[in-house]
A and B are shown apart, each in its own frame.
Chain A
């Protein structure tokens, strides 16, 4: 059965990457088809019921400033929300929300179904069709064929997924859902070499089997700011998390039963993430720790299930239950679903261009866990970038990429395509060398122009932002000429705030003091802005010195970053370039000299030789 309609873009997978890819490409005017194994599992949160967290919150906000959907979707479905690290500085602050999983998935599904230009269908894709080495469409297990110029694979954990509980395993992409086996074979035929990765998830507990009277509420505190810059009102934030601890008895049970985990005791394991260890790993690698914290997170507002964050395991269910029940407050807990480990296929992302197009097959894009990343947010931004680039390439336009100094999305992409992965890749703020620029608060300042040029930002929003930005800039100038005088009224305010000054100073300099805040200026009648604009002015002034220094670093590397390497540049026969370097360059095909220099094992000398060769090639 062939569908007569030819799509511009076909997306395989309806997870967080697939949803953003579908919406971005459809909103840019393409005709788009999204295929998912189950219509009921679109935008499913397979693991923890939360969006955001350190650096991940920044990804979501950046995605919002570019015109993505994730921020709005979590704003509409969150049951709790906090800005983390309130006291560690603006660049250390990230938002995290507890989601109502069902609402989150429902709203996203509805958004897809109501998007003009987007078809959503349930099907298991078995084959990638190529013509002259370029993607041309897909076939499904039930014999359908869909034609389309660009194909984006967002397979999550489904490619040859294997689920491990205790002594057995079964094929599956998520507990009791079918794995995608044929697609994996089809990709292997196209020459893609898979790497096996691993992740895990804890059991789910019945909310009514937990003794909350024996647990302490877990509250990180922090402001409650929506993820999307367009969200004006959040739902009631009544979700509550609880803190529990494992103990020596828990560890003993886990330790004594290690051999009963097929996965843990097998020699040839997929690569798991160090930042998300199973309980087996925790008790083995940190034997001196007498307890590990477990956060109990509700899976939704009306959900009867609770997610015990920090206790993933692949032990047999009876051992799991015994171990969980050693925890104070969980003595009588009952499982709704057991914990499991899952092994799945991904591909080294060094096989991609920065546009997320594969080097092997033109018009074929990969996004999300297939590229060796972990996390809903990491997946979402990749889906978005792949969707945008698929559409841009339809008209032969330049790919859209972001710099490492512009967004964590740029850092993520550059790390993936330049260095590859040696464990599931998660974003950390420490991966960004220009952290002070990549703050949550200034996402629109960095990225809204791009989103607008892509046609994904409404004029109404752009106008609102332009006005906000102008008011902030004006206020910053004004604060330079206003002074904080030490009159009786101001003294009283400062004393109450615990600020000691021996002479007056400009409001601008006052804000540069570590303890000075815009809020205090307002109390002294010196501040004119409210809310987000006020915070922006304060942050820009407070960090001006450090950011100026960071900008110098950016400028220092700008020459290298601006030096483009043509896509068809030949590394053969460059005199003096050692073969090992030529091979690395040939494999990665960096788009700039800066990226070339970041390839692991690359030397400055080789980059200098490449520089000369580029100059010569430019002249010819």
Chain B
């Protein structure tokens, strides 16, 4: 109950100011990401508002903020509270929240500040009827309500998934509890059902990712060994999309950042230092930094030089980006037109500007910028839904690896975990429903 939580208490949209509230015994931790605007380490005095610089190492974001500390119990929630007012850019605030989560601060559930205020006796109990509504908003009724508010299409998909999941659970439970009955031996139906749910999870998560991308922008990293044409590719992309918003020189010698818009989405393109080191120098600083850029990228453009021979350096980059969302680009198609097998998704010539428009389409497609249809329904999918779907997808993928190989009681527990995630998403309990399904589907009873 007493972990530290944070959330914006003003709408997270472009506005003059966005205020974030942090509450809990670890609220003061947030000052570690701040220094006084005149320089110096913060030494917050309760109830006194001061100017600070908020800086997040990881994202490199920085903002002038106003912050005030309310000492427990003299705060809204009755716990230690820090309220920080940022400039009203949702991108900055989202990154700042990310920095807070990295400190072990948890995202507040809807209504959670009020709930804590109530539990700590900060609210007048005579208003409790109203308070209860507030509390409910953060709990299962809230989830039910939020679920009811979901866009028709998403809701329909979630309902189908839930239905399919409960059917699978019913079959498994029937096989466990009624071994004498004719509940079927064929795993095919269950496996197909699991696959369907998994696919739906993935497609909803993809759509959710697109939505987030739209809000926050995304990072594309260009990677490749030296002289494959990374810089000319970057220039070609910039030439194609004229809307350059800023020109931030690279802060280190190792990479260069450029910002541009694809459609309405801010994109940051990072040109990594060529992974030129070989053998002994593999773990040198430059490669390490390139590697960390690649890991945090939304999309990696791997550039191969078609005019040369693919060597170990290329292989290394291909290995390194294996698990990433990536596009493998065969560059210098003007010099060498390949025949036979080339492991590239697209062939371009950065120097001749050929096929760059196709590449941009491909980037849009991979990052979901193109597909505004996907996004329309997902606006109401919250991070909480996405979290649940990610857990479900994880459990189901591992279940599919060897469904028939593992004992049925273990599979049942995996399915239970998925069901309980669904209960969190929809705010309903399905315990009785499963038994109802068993009895309506199978003629149980000898």
Contacts of A334 in B (CB 8 A): none
Q: Which of B172-180, B354-362, B365-373 contacts A (4 or more CB under 8 A)?
A: B172-180
Q: How many Å lie between the Cα of A220 and that of B179 in the bound state?
A: 9
Instruction: Tell whether, in the assembled complex, residue B179 and residue A605 are in contact, meaning their CB atoms are under 8 Å apart.
Output: no
Choose one: A90, A277, A295, A430; the contact of B180 (CB below 8 Å): A295
Instruction: Tell whether, in the assembled complex, residue A435 and residue B413 are in contact, meaning their CB atoms are under 8 Å apart.
Output: yes
> Which residues of A (263-277) have their CB < 8 Å from a CB of B?
273-277
> Taking CB as reference atom, which chain B residue is nearest A273?
B445
Instruction: Tell whether, in the assembled complex, residue B446 and residue A54 are in contact, meaning their CB atoms are under 8 Å apart.
Output: no
Indicate the size class of the contact surface on chain B. 35 or more
Instruction: Tell whether, in the assembled complex, residue A277 and residue B141 are in contact, meaning their CB atoms are under 8 Å apart.
Output: no
What's the minimum C-beta distance from B145 to chain A, rounded to whole angstroms? Answer: 13
Contacts of A428 in B (CB 8 A): 173, 177, 435
Instruction: Tell whether, in the assembled complex, residue A436 and residue B132 are in contact, meaning their CB atoms are under 8 Å apart.
Output: no
Instruction: Tell whether, in the assembled complex, residue A85 and residue B141 are in contact, meaning their CB atoms are under 8 Å apart.
Output: no
Q: Mark B121-137, 1 if CB is under 8 A from A, else 0.
A: 10001101101100110
Instruction: Tell whether, in the assembled complex, residue B439 and residue A609 are in contact, meaning their CB atoms are under 8 Å apart.
Output: no
Asked whether any CB of chain B lies closer than 8 Å to the CB of A617, the reply is no
Asked whether any CB of chain B lies closer than 8 Å to the CB of A603, the reply is yes
Mostly helix, strand, loop or mixed at chain B's interface?
helix
Q: Mark B404-437, 1 if CB is under 8 A from A, else 0.
A: 0111111011001100000000000001001100
Q: How many Å lie between the Cα of A302 and that of B399 in the bound state?
A: 49
Beyond A549-B413, A605-B132, is A295–B446 a contact (Cβ under 8 Å)?
yes
> Taking CB as reference atom, which chain A residue is nearest B127?
A576
Beyond A220-B179, A277-B445, A576-B129, is A92–B408 a contact (Cβ under 8 Å)?
yes
Choose one: A90, A282, A295; the contact of B409 (CB below 8 Å): A90
Choose one: A282, A550, A608; the contact of B115 (CB below 8 Å): A608
Q: Mark A602-620, 1 if CB is under 8 A from B, else 0.
A: 0111101101100000000
Instruction: Tell whether, in the assembled complex, residue B176 and residue A292 are in contact, meaning their CB atoms are under 8 Å apart.
Output: no
Asked whether any CB of chain A lies closer than 8 Å to the CB of B243, the reply is no
> Taking CB as reference atom, which chain B residue is nearest A222?
B179
Asked whether any CB of chain B lies closer than 8 Å to the CB of A453, the reply is no
Instruction: Tell whether, in the assembled complex, residue B126 and residue A575 are in contact, meaning their CB atoms are under 8 Å apart.
Output: yes
Contacts of B173 in A (CB 8 A): 428-430
Q: How many Å lie between the Cα of A91 and that of B176 in the bound state?
A: 9
Contacts of A274 in B (CB 8 A): 439, 444-445
Instruction: Tell whether, in the assembled complex, residue A220 and residue B180 are in contact, meaning their CB atoms are under 8 Å apart.
Output: yes
What's the minimum C-beta distance from A582 to chain B, rounded to whole angstroms? Answer: 12
> Which residues of A (282-307) have their CB < 8 Å from a CB of B?
282, 285-286, 289, 292-295
Q: Mark B158-179, 1 if CB is under 8 A from A, else 0.
A: 0000000000000001011111
Instruction: Tell whether, in the assembled complex, residue A310 and residue B407 are in contact, meaning their CB atoms are under 8 Å apart.
Output: no
What's the minimum C-beta distance from B25 to chain A, rounded to whole angstroms? Answer: 17
- Residues of A in contact, count (CB < 8 Å): 51
Asked whether any CB of chain B lies closer than 8 Å to the CB of A546, the reply is yes
Q: How many Å lie between the Cα of A527 and that of B434 in the bound state?
A: 41
Instruction: Tell whether, in the assembled complex, residue A430 and residue B176 are in contact, meaning their CB atoms are under 8 Å apart.
Output: yes
Q: How many Å lie between the Cα of A578 and that of B132 in the bound state?
A: 9
Instruction: Tell whether, in the assembled complex, residue B413 and residue A436 are in contact, meaning their CB atoms are under 8 Å apart.
Output: yes
Asked whether any CB of chain A lies closer than 8 Å to the CB of B335, the reply is no
Instruction: Tell whether, in the assembled complex, residue A85 and residue B132 are in contact, meaning their CB atoms are under 8 Å apart.
Output: no
Asked whether any CB of chain B lies closer than 8 Å to the CB of A235, the reply is no
> Taking CB as reference atom, which chain B residue is nearest A94?
B179
Q: How many Å lie between the Cα of A55 and that of B176 in the bound state?
A: 10
Asked whether any CB of chain A lies closer than 8 Å to the CB of B345, the reply is no
Q: How many Å lie between the Cα of A565 and that of B77 in the bound state?
A: 26
Asked whether any CB of chain B lies closer than 8 Å to the CB of A309, the reply is yes
> Which residues of B (203-223) have their CB < 8 Å from a CB of A?
none
Contacts of B402 in A (CB 8 A): 514
Q: How many Å lie between the Cα of A193 and that of B178 in the bound state?
A: 33
Asked whether any CB of chain B lies closer than 8 Å to the CB of A88, the reply is yes
Asked whether any CB of chain B lies closer than 8 Å to the CB of A84, the reply is yes
Instruction: Tell whether, in the assembled complex, residue A608 and residue B119 are in contact, meaning their CB atoms are under 8 Å apart.
Output: yes
Asked whether any CB of chain B lies closer than 8 Å to the CB of A433, the reply is yes
Asked whether any CB of chain A lies closer than 8 Å to the CB of B313, the reply is no
Instruction: Tell whether, in the assembled complex, residue A289 and residue B409 are in contact, meaning their CB atoms are under 8 Å apart.
Output: no
Most buried by B among A285, A428, A430, A606: A430
Asked whether any CB of chain B lies closer than 8 Å to the CB of A89, the reply is yes
Contacts of A605 in B (CB 8 A): 132, 135-136, 139, 141
Contacts of B128 in A (CB 8 A): 575-577, 609
Asked whether any CB of chain A lies closer than 8 Å to the CB of B334, the reply is no
Asked whether any CB of chain A lies closer than 8 Å to the CB of B52, the reply is no
> Taking CB as reference atom, which chain A residue is nearest B128?
A576
> Taking CB as reference atom, which chain A residue is nearest B126?
A575
Beyond A84-B179, A612-B118, is A514–B405 a contact (Cβ under 8 Å)?
yes
Most buried by A among B136, B177, B408: B177
> Taking CB as reference atom, which chain A residue is nearest B137?
A605
Asked whether any CB of chain A lies closer than 8 Å to the CB of B140, the reply is yes
Beyond A430-B435, A433-B416, A576-B128, is A85–B176 a contact (Cβ under 8 Å)?
yes
Choose one: A282, A514, A576; the contact of B407 (CB below 8 Å): A514
What's the minimum C-beta distance from A421 to chain B, rounded to whole angstroms? Answer: 12
Contacts of B445 in A (CB 8 A): 273-277, 282, 310
> Taking CB as reference atom, which chain A residue is nearest B416?
A433
> Taking CB as reference atom, which chain A residue is nearest B123?
A576
Instruction: Tell whether, in the assembled complex, residue B439 and residue A92 are in contact, meaning their CB atoms are under 8 Å apart.
Output: no
Contacts of A612 in B (CB 8 A): 118-119, 121
> Which residues of B (54-70) have their CB < 8 Å from a CB of A?
none
Contacts of A603 in B (CB 8 A): 136, 139-141
Instruction: Tell whether, in the assembled complex, residue A89 and residue B180 are in contact, meaning their CB atoms are under 8 Å apart.
Output: no
Contacts of B126 in A (CB 8 A): 575
> Which residues of A (90-104) have their CB < 8 Å from a CB of B?
90-92
Beyond A91-B409, A604-B139, is A55–B177 a contact (Cβ under 8 Å)?
yes
> Which residues of B (288-311) have their CB < 8 Å from a CB of A?
none
> Taking CB as reference atom, which chain B residue is nearest A559?
B1
Q: How many Å lie between the Cα of A608 and that of B132 in the bound state?
A: 9
What's the minimum C-beta distance from B242 to chain A, rounded to whole angstroms? Answer: 54
Beyond A430-B177, A603-B141, A612-B119, is A546–B412 a contact (Cβ under 8 Å)?
no
Beyond A293-B182, A576-B125, is A54–B177 a contact (Cβ under 8 Å)?
yes
Instruction: Tell whether, in the assembled complex, residue B443 and residue A282 are in contact, meaning their CB atoms are under 8 Å apart.
Output: yes
Q: Mark A132-158, 1 if CB is under 8 A from B, else 0.
A: 000000000000000000000000000
Q: How many Å lie between the Cα of A515 and that of B446 in the bound state?
A: 33
> Taking CB as reference atom, which chain A residue is nearest B411?
A89
Q: How many Å lie between the Cα of A275 and that of B436 in the bound state?
A: 10
> Taking CB as reference atom, which chain A residue is nearest B169?
A430
Q: How many Å lie between the Cα of A435 and that of B407 in the bound state?
A: 13
Instruction: Tell whether, in the assembled complex, residue A550 and residue B413 are in contact, meaning their CB atoms are under 8 Å apart.
Output: yes
Contacts of B125 in A (CB 8 A): 575-576
Q: Mark A424-460, 1 if CB is under 8 A from B, else 0.
A: 0000111101011000000000000000000000000
Instruction: Tell whether, in the assembled complex, residue A429 and residue B443 are in contact, meaning their CB atoms are under 8 Å apart.
Output: no
What's the minimum C-beta distance from B15 to chain A, rounded to whole angstroms? Answer: 31
What's the minimum C-beta distance from A378 to chain B, rounded to whole angstroms? Answer: 14
Instruction: Tell whether, in the assembled complex, residue B119 and residue A611 are in contact, meaning their CB atoms are under 8 Å apart.
Output: yes
Q: How many Å lie between the Cα of A543 and that of B439 in the bound state?
A: 30
Instruction: Tell whether, in the assembled complex, residue A92 and residue B443 are in contact, meaning their CB atoms are under 8 Å apart.
Output: no
What's the minimum C-beta distance from B374 to chain A, rounded to whole angstroms? Answer: 33
Instruction: Tell whether, in the assembled complex, residue B136 and residue A88 are in contact, meaning their CB atoms are under 8 Å apart.
Output: no
Which 8 pairs between the two chains have the least Cβ-Cβ distance? Answer: A576-B128, A89-B407, A310-B446, A89-B409, A575-B125, A604-B139, A91-B409, A88-B408
Given contacts A514-B407, A578-B132, A609-B128, 15 further A-B contacts (CB under 8 A): A54-B176, A54-B179, A85-B179, A85-B408, A89-B410, A275-B444, A286-B443, A292-B443, A433-B416, A436-B413, A576-B129, A604-B139, A605-B132, A605-B139, A606-B132
Interface positions of A (Cβ within 8 A of B) = 54-55, 84-85, 87-92, 220, 273-277, 282, 285-286, 289, 292-295, 309-310, 428-431, 433, 435-436, 514-515, 543, 546, 549-550, 575-578, 603-606, 608-609, 611-612
25 contacts between A and B (CB under 8 A): A85-B176, A85-B408, A88-B409, A91-B409, A92-B176, A92-B409, A220-B180, A274-B445, A276-B445, A293-B446, A428-B435, A430-B434, A436-B409, A514-B405, A546-B413, A549-B413, A577-B128, A578-B132, A603-B136, A603-B139, A604-B135, A604-B136, A605-B139, A608-B119, A612-B121
